[in-house]
Every structure is written in structure tokens, then in C-alpha cells.
Amino acid sequence: MHLIVFLLRPIYFLLYHQFAWTYDFVAAVVSLGRWQDWVRAALPEMSGRVLEIGFGPGHLQISINEKKLQAFGLDESRQMAHQASRRIQKKGILFRLSRGYAQSIPFAKGVFDSVVATFPAEYIFDPQTLSEVKRVLVPAGRLVILPIAWITGTRPLERLVAWLLRVSGEAPGKPGPVSAATMGRFARLGFEVRSEIVELKGSQVLVLVAEKKKGS
């Protein structure tokens, strides 16, 4: 399993950079058209000023604005920034996108009510990333993470794609609670964490909500 994930990393990098123009198509294929529904599952947990880490093609930025929240974005990919800015501009929405890394967020302390990351790479659990997120959040602000989704439908194609996601490491195991080790990692950095399995058509999405402890 670890070998497969290791071998796939160069492909993921190209998909997010040089081949970013194919991202929406690939995401739709591997999710059987459910990708956007999965991403929007994070919306109910957001409020106020929202920073999206890894905004990709910009779809969630638009959804955040449509919810009448203030959307900001951070992504290191030049190609994704180009795609997202064009998509948002076509909607007539003011875009606030920055390029940079989650381990060094280029915003001041305590300016966001929510930070969100949907299907991020392992960098999101880096202690430096979590420290930076904590820094830019207001007291009791929320970090919302969608780390994984499972296809649970029983049709032959759904079973095939679920198996492919499982063997590739994208959706290992079965839907279930977050491990104690993960919970402990957040707790040590001053977050109170809860998790929820969101039921969607033929699929389930894991949503993690890490709330910054007051006074931390």
C-alpha cells in the first residue's frame, strides 16, 4: 500500500501543477461525479472570514461567497491560482487569492473565523501547519478538514471505484471515527476536535472540525 502511494505522488504533483487543467475531469471521474458535493460538505461548519488552504480550481471559493461569507485562498500552485482566479472572475466575484505554503501563512494573527482544507496532502497535519492555522484563527475559530471520502454505493462501477480508491490509499479502510493519535495531535496544539461522517448519495465524507481553545 505504501509503495503504491509513493509511486502515485509524482502523478499527483503533475495533476496539481503542469496538468492542472485536467484536475476537474480527473476528480469527477475518480469520484463518479460526486467531487463537488464532497467538497461542499464542509460549508455548514464555516462562518465569517474563511481562509481556504489549497483552493485548487476555485470551486469552493465560489460556494463560500455564495453563502455570503468572505472567502480568502492560499495555494502554492501557480497553475491552480491561474485557473481559480479566472473561474471566480467569470462569476463577477472579488477574488482574494494568495500563493504560499500552509506552513508559513502570509496573514496576520487572529484574522480568520474559519480555515478550511478539502482533501489536502499530509502537510495539513504537519505541526508547523497546525501552529500557523492556530495563529491566524480568532479565539474559538475553526479549522475544518475533509481528509477522506468513501464511495459506498453497491452498483458494479461504484464497487470498482471504491476498490481502486482503497488500494491506491486514497480511501483506505472503512468509514469510521478518527484515531486517538490524530485527536491527540490536535489537542497538544490547543485544539478541541470532533469528527462527523456526512452521508451523501452513494458516499460518505469524513469532516474534522478542530476548534481553537479560548486563551490558547
pLDDT of 48-100, one tens digit each? 999 999 999 999 999 999 999 999 999 999 999 999 999 999 999 888 999 99
The pTM assigned to this predicted structure is: 0.90
Tell me what the mean pLDDT of segment 189-204 comes to: 91
Predicted pLDDT at 160: 87
Predicted confidence band of residue 180 (pLDDT cuts 50, 70, 90): confident
Strand ranges in 54-201 using DSSP code E only, listed in sequence order: 70-75, 97-99, 112-118, 137-151, 191-200
Predicted pLDDT at 54: 96
Does 110 score more than 60 pLDDT? yes
Predicted pLDDT at 23: 86
CA-to-CA separations, 19 to 15, 30, 40, 57, 148, in angstroms, rounded = 5, 16, 24, 12, 22
Tell me what the mean pLDDT of segment 167-185 comes to: 72
CA–chain centroid gap for 73, Å, is 12
Range with the largest mean pLDDT of 9-18, 177-186, 201-210: 201-210
Predicted pLDDT at 21: 81
d(CA 166, CA 168): 5
Q: Do 58 and 75 touch, CB atoms closer than 8 A?
A: no
Predicted confidence band of residue 175 (pLDDT cuts 50, 70, 90): low
Tell me what the mean pLDDT of segment 119-148 comes to: 94
Q: Which domains does the chain show, CATH number per domain?
A: 2-212 (3.40.50.150)
Strand ranges in 11-88 using DSSP code E only, listed in sequence order: 49-53, 70-75
Does 139 score more than 80 pLDDT? yes
Beta bridge partners of 89: none
